[in-house]
Chain A
Amino acid sequence: MAGSSLTPTPHSIDISLTGRCNLKCTYCFYANEMTALTDLPTDKWLACFEELGRLNTMEVTLSGGEAFTRRDLFELIDGVIANRMRYSLLSNGTLITDQVLARFDEGKRRQRLNSIQISIDGSRAEIHDASRPKSFSRAVRGLRLLKEAGFPVTVRVTITKHNLHDLENIAALLLEDIGLPSFSTNDAIPMGSGCQNEAEVALDSHEQYEAMQIVGRLLERYPGRLNAQAGPQAKIQMYAEMEHARRTGEKTTRWGMGRLTACGCTFSKLAILHDGTIVPCNMLTERLGNITTDSVHEIWHTHPVLTAMRQRRFIPMQDVLGCADCEWAPYCNGSCPALPYTLYGDFNRANPHDCYRRFLQEVGHGVSA
């Protein structure tokens, strides 16, 4: 049960509750879906949570759009709780007030909350607002309210061209001034509005390298207080492990090197968009069905797209289009399939944004831990 094999039902579900948002961020991966789809009403979500409860799903992550724009948010949270699940929230923080926080005190809303993540992209308005317009003061106010009230609040910093040289100030704001125990980073990728604004926001390889160096210095200053599942910080580790494996022949056990093993989410997770569309991931929006008409359980076990995604791990990297002659193929895992799916309509390709060969060609030298 604890391994990477297929779980009997989804362990957790990422749910975009709404396509509405009070911001218009320059790198929002969900921007296209927000305009194309319509929100499900309360009763449909509550019925969905009942199904997830029957499936013994353990947790949901609620996001949007901006989840706090839904007037029925707390009714929906109560639906999650009634079906024996815990939950997390992803938010821009701007709608969080004392009155909103007081509503968490009702019932088990606070007890069942795993975390609430706020996005902060700058140490001051000029930088934060460059990618998250006119929101810095409200976002930081929300963050401070959560912290002061003792909520399990976390912060995600998305590294862009705008804030690359502000990272050290951001770390000081979050870790020293506000006093968070840690925060996480990733970087803007060319999906959604991040595709239209790629030249303005997304880091090129040289900036990626610079971000790695800055994050490295921050990790020395704040040991263990920055973390990442993707982006420059995660790539420091990934590239260093690839270098080590190539040099020594010792492959990491953390992922299946040499095969298309990233990512493993389809073995334990699903996502649901705000119109009820069931997808493998809210960044990889291949339509699998809809919660208003289809069984999550049946989709989980029988949908050919999920089966195909779970079979990716058997595909040697040398057989992946564009990777046949890559000397790093035996040490690579293809990285997140959402971007190649978005760019090429094919999740059986390697993620060009994370390609180490490309990084080496463009930067001119490698990475060591």
Chain B
Amino acid sequence: MTALPIANPELVFRSDGEEGLLFDPETGQIIYLNETAAFIYGLLDGEHSREQIIGLLMQKYDILDREAAQDDLDAMLQNMREANLIGETA
């Protein structure tokens, strides 16, 4: 089974449906997410695959270039992974 990206359960994710934020209760640090990042983070529930997220991203923002959407998503997930904001399902 392929590992799926999943939000770090130790962090608090708040979104108003547009922008969002991640709150680390251990440090009190807050990371603000723009609309796209908040939309993606909301999908990191361990149920959505990378391909499904790309599809939803293209649909929401009327993106026609799938390859560009993939690249953008992969870059964002990589940044989030490096910042320990996300992990992967076992």
Contacts and interface: CB of A to CB of B under 8 A. Distances in A.
Interface of A: 1-2, 5-9, 11, 56, 58, 81, 84-86, 108, 111-112, 114
B74 interface: no
Contact of A56 (B10, B13, B17): B13
B32 A58 contact: no
Interface in B5-33: 10-21, 23, 25-26, 28, 32
Contact of A58 (B16, B20, B25, B26): B25
B19 A58 contact: no
Q: Interface residues of A: mostly helix, strand, loop or mixed?
A: loop
Contacts of B20: 1
Contact of B32 (A1, A7, A11, A85): A1
Contacts of B12: 56, 58, 84
20 contacts: A1-B15, A1-B16, A1-B19, A2-B21, A7-B14, A8-B16, A8-B17, A9-B14, A11-B14, A56-B12, A56-B13, A58-B12, A58-B14, A81-B25, A84-B11, A86-B25, A86-B28, A108-B26, A111-B26, A114-B28
B38 to A, nearest CB: 8
Nearest to A87: B25
A262 B25 CA distance: 29
- Among B10, B13, B17, B21, the one with the most A-chain Cβ atoms within 10 Å of its Cβ is B21
A85 B16 contact: no
A5 B19 CA distance: 12
- Among B12, B15, B21, the one with the most A-chain Cβ atoms within 10 Å of its Cβ is B12
Nearest to B38: A1
Contact of A112 (B11, B16, B17, B25): B25
